[in-house]
Amino acid sequence: MNNRSVNVASTVPFDTKKLDDLLEQAGIDVLIATSKHNVGYLLGGYRFFFFETMDAIGINRYLPVFIYAKGRADRSVFIGNKLEGFEKQLNRFWTGVAETSWMTGPEAMHSAVLHVRKMGVASARIGVEMPFLPLDAADVLHSAFPDSRLVDATMALERLRARKSTSELSLLKEVSERVVAAMQAAFSACRPGMTKHDVVAHLRREETNRGLSFEYCLISAGASLNRAPSEQLLGAGDIISLDSGANYHGYIGDLCRMGSVGKPDSELEDLLSEVEAIQQAARKPIRAGARGGDIYAAAEQAMRGSTQLPHFDFLAHGMGLVSHEAPHLTGKGVVPYPATDEDLPLEGGMVISIETAILHPKRGFIKLEDTVAVTESGWEGFGDNCRSWNVAQV
């Protein structure tokens, strides 16, 4: 092994053997990653500040490119935007080649083609992220390698990211705790006469003040099941559901908590208690080695005897850089993907969002959503507080 290989091996921020195995299973010789989240992951958590919240520029878009030849981490290449030359000066990139000369996706892909040819894999099976490869860049790749087969590498990269490192778990815990704290502050500020837009704006400020990048808030109020921010007014006694996603160093906090404008009545207390019981039932089977589908089985068993059964909505999905990333526990959820992890064992370090809602025809939308990390002996809840009614005193 040459000195360069030793140096790279000590700095590569991901498990190269795992990636090599995943690429072999997928039938891929060389990987060309182009999504911001996967390129950032492969670079060790890198996020380019200029394009952190946007992609479009002029009449094209930012397209980072990371090239990885199976079994040859030392030949990895990063191709970035011209403005990332400033980041290169700060030694942000571990790859042997970091090229920051281009402004558009097709330019970056033309450069990628040259680097792949230098790797001697011009007729190889090329792994790409089909959902994250723009047509103009794909055309460049097709034209350059007409005899090569493009293989979708999306699921291989999902598997690579599925088990979180200690530092990733710390970020997910931190973002979850900050989101819940922001929700608690927003609930406390609710008053009759505020609009749903007002509440979301307050939550946005609370998340921003806690160092988060606000992404969205699904909000329902009163007996309505409509979860879009709107001019709907809050009234005394109304319940409020805040289901918000925020970003912290690339990692997503996605949780839901309930509030009320004034003290909730006993029926509302009972309904939220039923939601909580299902949330806790779904956690019981979670541990490293347990079958992924057992989470759904436990929740379904808990729901079966409830009078609210026709109104329940349950979902469990992976969390991390992407909402609904691996583990993929069901093929019947609102976001379509195959249930690849339903019959596979959970692994320590996987992170799962568990959400239960009652869509009550008279009392409104009542939901909890939690973030739970799989451990060797069980689970750990992140941001695991404020789970009962958060009451705004009026």
Q: What is the pLDDT of residues 202-249, one digit of tens each?
A: 999 999 999 999 999 999 999 999 999 999 999 999 999 999 999 999
Q: Do 244 and 255 touch, CB atoms closer than 8 A?
A: yes
Contact between 88 and 97 (Cβ < 8 Å): no
As a whole number, the mean pLDDT across the chain is 95
* pLDDT tens figures, 260-280: 999 999 999 999 999 999 999
How many domains, in total, are found in the chain? 2
User: Which residue among 161, 185, 214 closes a domain?
Assistant: 161
pTM of the model: 0.94
If DSSP codes are grouped into helix, strand and coil, which group holds residue 155? helix
Average pLDDT over residues 155-165: 98
pLDDT tens digits for 83-125? 999 999 999 999 999 999 988 899 999 999 999 999 887 678 9
Structure token pair of residue 38: 């996967």
Pair 146, 184 in one domain: no
What token pair was written down for 176? 């979850």
Is residue 377 classed exposed, middle or buried when 0-12, 13-18 and 19+ CB atoms within 10 A define those classes? exposed
Beta carbons of 184 and 386 less than 8 angstroms apart: yes
Same domain for 386 and 340: yes
Supply the Cα-derived Rg of the chain in whole angstroms.
23
Report the pLDDT value the prediction gives residue 366, as an integer from 0 to 100.
98
Pairing of strands 60-61, 56-57: antiparallel
User: Residue 22 has which token pair?
Assistant: 């995943």
Q: In terms of domains, do 122 and 180 share one?
A: no
CATH number (domain holding residue 362): 3.90.230.10
Asked if 182 and 52 sit in the same domain, the reply is no
Coarse DSSP helix, strand, coil percentages of the chain, rounded to the nearest 5 percent = 35, 25, 35
Mean pLDDT over 169-182 rounds to 98
Q: Which domain holds residue 221?
A: 166-392
Residue 8 has pLDDT above 70, yes or no: no
Contact 347, 144 (CB under 8 A): no
| Cα 287 to chain centroid, rounded | 21
Q: Each residue of 282-301: pLDDT tens digit?
A: 999 999 999 999 999 999 99
Q: Quick check: 7 pLDDT over 80?
A: no
